[in-house]
A and B are shown apart, each in its own frame.
Chain A
Amino acid sequence: MTQLMTYRGFALATAPASIKALVTAFVVMAALGVTVGFVNYQVRTGLTAEGSAAWYRSGVAANPEAADTDPATQEGAMPLYAKTPLEILDSTHPHLFNQAFLFFVLGHLLALCSMKARWKTATYLAGYAGVAIDVASPWLIRYAGAGFAWLQMAGHLAMAGAFLVLIVVPLWSMWRPGRRAAATAAVAALLFGAGCAAGGAGADRTGAGAPLVRVDRAWPVMGTMLQATAVAADSATAREALAAARAEVFRVDSLMSTYKPGSEVSRVNAAAGTGEWTELSPGTLEVLDAALAWNAATGRAFDPTVGPLVDAWGFHRREGRVPPESTIDSLLAITGCRRVEVERARAPYLGRGRARLPVKGMALDFGAIAKGYALDRALAAMRAAGAAGGMADLGGHVSVWGTPPDGGVGWPIGIRDPRDPEALLGTVTVESGSVATSGDYERFFVHDGVRYSHVLDPRTGWPARGTAQTTVIAPNGTDADALSTALFVLGPEKGREILARHAPEATAVWVADPGERPVEPGDVVVAGARTGRVDLSW
């Protein structure tokens, strides 16, 4: 072809029928490919600048169809997370070859058509400019500003215009009027291709009907084990989902662990009393906000500043002891969320802020909420990675979403008997949500015949009494985690009020401390019952 085009007088219009047929087939296939590409882009971004910005920078899926969203309620909207450099590169790399090559070949066909040289050159330049913008704009949108979404749309417009010329002109040259039937056939083929592309785009992308693959893995993290299950149409997707979930949990741990000196929470604590601010990333700030909100909602039954008291009781080092009253009183004086100072960035969409603790010895401890947040992020990562369902279990706090491995409805999760680790009190069946349990058996010591558990009442500085276990089923892990601790402290009577007022979608199961005897039905109180189905064993 390269050689043919150099012969004087050679043109597509006068080419042999075999060459015309070959070129027509190629151009039609190219048109089909380009159409599919644009439909793909439309599904992802809704063909809007806002949708495009959300796709790369984070937000909510622009096209409801892309996330199986209920348009009325937005329920099921797919959260989009800021793309990583590798994710962007995974599309940049093939685009540099494929799109450029397509323009290159179509450009050769245009060269064989009757058209002014300057218009041909302009078409080549427009096409290449479109490709250049197409590969550069995701980086610009992600790292320079959402406004570059408009540049991306302009680039796509340039590409579309160039493609139109590159496809229509050769077809027109070969099958111009006078050969009406052939022209009609070519146009019909184009329309058929576009129709197939649109039909393909509307097809079920979830792989429904195909057997689902389940992949399980476990890793040590946050002082416990993360056990995760991903359900997907293929094992590669499931494994990718698991890797993404693991990365999120490890990231949350690196930000919020009090055992890692470099974590943001540790740095806030180390700077307590110095007046220095510590910059917080969006995730840490989000958890701090949630912790402060639950502190206020529960009347301090949940308190992320209770760490020094937990330390005084020896629970951090698993060496329980009853501290002197004077120690408890002095530590109570430096706890309380009202003392936590938080400043947010002026541009709230940045999600950043900073925090400081004004008194030396104060400390933040997200031990009763960070695991739930980590599970939320883990499931979101699985979902973004394309899994159809998933489960993540961090030391008994379980979050689930989507299709379970057996393809049924809901994930069964056991509620253990606080006095018999081998027995279950019952099961909770959850379609999407989180099940968190706080129990007096996790960390405790017995002193003078009294059982002291690690769940402290922040208002008194003493371990909460009267409850052996609280299980909370909530729509998300962050709330379930915080509530399971708060409701353990409050007990069922006040806990019901908190549930009704602040967590109407949550369910709570209290098990009263039975003392030395086994748990009996009368020890169990269930309230809420809006998330999941609770089936007790008796």
Chain B
Amino acid sequence: MTPGPRRPAVRLLRWALALYPASYGTTPLAEVADHAERHLARAGRLGGLREVADVAAHGARLRLGLVSHRPLGRAFATAAPLAAVLAGTYAAAHLWWAFRMVTDPDFETFSDEGAQRVGPFLAAAVALLPAVLMLGAVLARRWSSARALALVAVVAPPLIHVLARPELLGGAADTWVVGLSERRYALIVLNALILLLAPPDRAHPRSVAPWAVAVPIMAADITITLTGGIVDWINLSGFDIVAPVATGAAVACTARTIGRTASATAVLAAPPLLTPALTSVVLLPPLPFVQRLTVLYALGCLVALVAVRLTARRSRPADLTHT
């Protein structure tokens, strides 16, 4: 006898189905519900959650008009590896920060930023938020090729800093550890939404994609470290350094040939290499943090959108390389 669906999962499924727009139609929605319920009846607890996440992501994409046969949907899919990298970085950094908060009461960041305002327990809970979001992403299977990139983005920077400038060893952690600020968590949520709602990964070719993103990120990081920019950036998250290059590199990942991937990566890696010079206090008064963040991120997304649209226009309609 087939066991019935688990009740909490069924309740979650109802909420997930509510995400579908009315325009999707009653028959298709009934099919999705029927299919998901049958899966829930057979799946374990984890498998059930994964099924619900899959349905929720599809419903949300439909509601937002981000379906993969539209250019906007393709651009959205392009941003998924970027979101995975950033969410992975945030997740690891905040996990580490939470660990330090627990093990070291005198941890400097604890007294520097908003943790003082909200109290240690809430601060620790919020610090775990990115990790929870990453868990959701894993459950929804939205980051298969990008998990390697997240690893590179998390592991490489501290190593590079320490190798290049050993005197930073004591303070290197503070460079990547950020405090509780509303705008940073807004960015985490934004990236998590992109990541969770994005269609399944579509990086091509798979062997090139991770490195096409990882190499420019590390190149930017090495440059910033060697030019001493790291001192000026000490209070920033890695977001505004990484966002444009990762976005551009994600575009490069969708290119169809190695040559185009390489050239797009090289071109789009330039802004973060130049950014430390442009924003250095020595040369120019730095832009306010939010402005810089917004401008760079918007620029990266714009580049991604244009590149994807151009690629789509040049491609043959029945070519399924990007499916």
Q: Report whether chain A binds chain B.
A: no
B contact residues vs A (CB 8 Å cutoff): none
